Structure 1
């Protein structure tokens, strides 16, 4: 019978204690559970030491195997005979106990969970990074830009934002796209210079004007007249290709550029103007040049024939600017904005611009005399209307619905029959006009631009866009002595214009110099 050694703490042998007890004849109640119920300890008193337990297993292993039942021996023969079933003896260098199996499993589970979370985060980060790279690549390809330009594109974006983009085709887009994979990339500064250089010519080559249906289902739009619906559906179309162009008209120093709004069918009015106040000449070293602004014929069946006649007319005189849009009343604003763009491109050496209709009488000499006392900067002079009310009567030519303009008064503007402005102000008007929605009445549209620039047009008594007097039957409207002192008088048809021009420039004797105030 084994006894614990004296002076050493007794040990347990949980794996073989019961079997060892049975082999030595111990009662079954003296096992682990028997002690909990108050049973006696094995003979000798204290606990069995671990190393004593292993020695006992080596000694009594075969006896234990023979004493166990058949079923139990089949289940764990190796456990009874093997010393591995006995826990390892605690190390003498450390008194710490080994971690319990439950804690080990919990620590292992936490470790596996942390590792799984780390792998999931890596996958998410990789997916986000890949998505960002794909978005950048698609953006670069859609814009037709080089990667270098995409990263440094802020300066280039500012340059592009200064140019109109509607109804245009720009040549540099294809050139950049073709050079996408070249190793040697041009600096952004060179590209910017190329864009500025491109603006020196008319860059609108195609008509890309589609209908805007964003508000076509609104109730206020459905109640408009057909002509206003047409205007609003295509109001975003601003610039159009040029059919006839004469940039050489602005070569050299031009003191006064006479610009006349006309339509393709009114050849007789243009001819009368060329023979009278539209003559190109030089007065005291001041050059005067003339241009006519036109669109295309509004009737399609007459368009081809009128276009041939216009091209022949232009070959003779070379003074026509023509754009590819219909000549109509609402498109007069298109003539305004397209001419301002043309002027900013080709006419940097022009000092003053007179702009008027083709049914007016003009005295260039009186205009030159007036301009001689003016200073350039913000000159805009004509027959100015202050606090004019929008006309709400549908039968009137200048009718404007409340849905299009709801304010009670228009800003100050000069009547479109004729006005004078200087070149610096015209350049500013061009830039401001691109920030405003087009308006059906061209005179009022210019007044809106002037309002943004905080420039008030100057009223001059020599501009008579409603006749010498408003009574059309008055004899004063046919008195040459009154015309002799006017700058602009509206309205005269070609035969009346030719007669009045001859009378004013004949040996006309007037009793006194007349000023109509």
Structure 2
């Protein structure tokens, strides 16, 4: 999930000649005055002492390919689709086009909803804002939302799309955007750039939900899960989702998850499906530290699994997270059953209209809890 934005990607036919065009001048001029960090002097000093910058410090992109890799025998055998990923995977942090350092400034955010999106999916973002991404306070616990974006891919109406996303952000103030192309391989860049951003700006946040913009999230159940973990004093290493264990790289060249043996030739560590997972802020900061010592990998959720393995931790499997849908069959009546959505935490994949409809149905007072108890998967949910 790392499909860079460099010109050289045209070698593999993955994008046009502007593949690695970056907007450095736009980066300098695009940040609004309100985007200056809102941090205390004491906290600034502490972060400098700890080696963490007090504000985003990737201001200019200067990333040429690692030419030494071209001489390696394994590189010569490598599928050309992965050449530019390997040559540029040392390019880790990018200038920000839109920043919101004030999002966590009051230090009282209980849960930060972080949503991976792309510029064109404005309808999905709108649906999330109207449903589970709605910023509000529950029993004194603040919930805030951010959408993670890259820049438009080559061949699209780049300038107009950028203006539209800037306008959207002026309305909602909930977008973080970096100057790398928003492509499949680059999802790993969203992971590492967000972890760095979080380490700088959101030290007071307690928990992070990270998910896609096409999932249904039952925020009540998510908060209940957090409550159980806190009561049991198990929040420090919290990393829970739809865990995949004993997986191996996919060798089918037709799959978008295809990985050649030259790139990785051993079983994957346990990892969670990237559609939606929950982690504590303590663990997020530790993931950031270990991520800096790991080579980037072109599948973002597997990369986080590698970070967890480096910490000698394993993600927790929870049946309430269905990041592959309620059933793996493409069409099933279960996927339209409100009681499942009422009792689960995360369900993948829904269109914007499906999300709005299911949210309305699940939160309808006529859908009484007792009506769902017979089907309740509480064996996996309340035991948490």
Q: Structure 1 length as normaliser, TM-score?
A: 0.61
The alpha carbon displacement at 1:302 in A equals 1.5
The 5-angstrom pairing of residues 188-207 of structure 1 reads 199-207=53-61
Q: Which residue of 2 aligns with 1:515?
A: 376
CA distance in 1, matches of 2:58, 2:124: 29
3-state SS, counterpart of residue 206 of structure 2: strand
Quote the Cα distance in structure 2 between the aligned partners of 1:207 and 1:353.
Answer: 28
- Post-superposition shift, 1:192? 10
1:382 aligns with 2:241: yes
How far 1:477 moved relative to its partner? Answer: 0.8
User: Residues 363 and 350 (structure 1 numbering): CA distance in 2 closer, same or farther, change over 3 Å?
Assistant: same
Measure the CA separation in 2 of the matches of 1:324 and 1:478.
Answer: 38
Specify which structure has the higher proportion of helix: 1
Partner of 1:272: 127
Q: SS of the residue aligned with 2:274?
A: strand
Residue by residue over 1:322-357, the C-alpha shift from the partner in whole angstroms, topping out at 9 and shown as x without a partner, is 000001111100000000000000111100000000
CA–CA distance in 2 between the matches of 1:356 and 1:487? Answer: 12
Deviation at 1:455, TM superposition (A): 1.1
Q: Which residue of 2 aligns with 1:291?
A: 146
Q: Match of 1:114?
A: none
Q: What is the rounded CA distance, in whole Å, between the counterparts of 1:500 and 1:298 in structure 2?
A: 32
* Alignment correspondent of 2:93: 239
Residue pair 2:241, 2:278 contacting (<8 A) in 1 also: yes
In the aligned structure 2, how far is the partner of 1:193 from the partner of 1:405? 36
Larger radius of gyration: 1
Q: Could you say if the C-alpha distance between residues 219 and 511 of structure 1 is closer, same or farther in structure 2, counting changes exceeding 3 Å?
A: same
CA distance in 2 between counterparts of 1:192 and 1:377 reads 22
Relative distance call for 1:461 and 1:428 in structure 2 (3 A) is same
* 2:311 is equivalent to residue 457 of structure 1: no
Which whole-Å deviations, capped at 9, do the CAs of 1:91-113 have from their partners, x for residues lacking one? xxxxxxxxxxxxxxxxxxxxxxx
Correspondence for 1:394 = 253
Cα distance change on mapping 1:278 and 1:192 into 2, 3 Å: closer
Q: How far 1:218 sits from its partner (Å)? A: 3.4
CA distance in 2, matches of 1:448, 1:220: 22
Relative to structure 1, the CA distance from residue 406 to residue 454 in structure 2 (aligned partners, 3 Å threshold; closer, same or farther) is same
Cross-structure match for 1:466: 324
Q: 1:272 to 1:218 in 2, by over 3 A?
A: same
Counterpart position of 1:442 = 300
Question: Which of 1 and 2 has higher RCO (CA within 8 Å, sep 6+)?
Answer: 2
Shift of 1:193: 8.5
Residues 265-414 of structure 1: matches in 2 within 5 Å? 265-374=120-229, 375=233, 376-407=235-266, 409-414=267-272
Task: Tell me, in whole angstroms, the C-alpha distance in 2 between the residues paired with 1:515 and 1:302.
Answer: 47
SS at match of 2:207: strand
Q: Does 1:431 align with 2:296?
A: no
1:491 matched to 2:363? The reply is no
Distance apart, 1:301 and its partner CA = 4.3
1:150 is matched with none
- Equivalent pairs counted in the alignment come to 327
Cα displacement string for residues 102-152 of structure 1 (whole angstroms, at most 9, x for unaligned residues): xxxxxxxxxxxxxxxxxxxxxxxxxxxxxxxxxxxxxxxxxxxxxxxxxxx
CA distance in 2, matches of 1:370, 1:300: 43
| Structure 1 residue 198 displacement after superposition | 7.5
Structure 1's unaligned 5+ residue stretches are 1-167, 169-190
Q: Distance in 1 between matches of 2:65 and 2:182?
A: 19
CA distance in 2, matches of 1:313, 1:512: 38
Q: Distance in 1 between matches of 2:47 and 2:152?
A: 38
1:471 CA displacement: 1.1
Q: Distance in 1 between matches of 2:171 and 2:301?
A: 31
Q: 1:12-27 maps to which residues of 2 (within 5 A)?
A: none
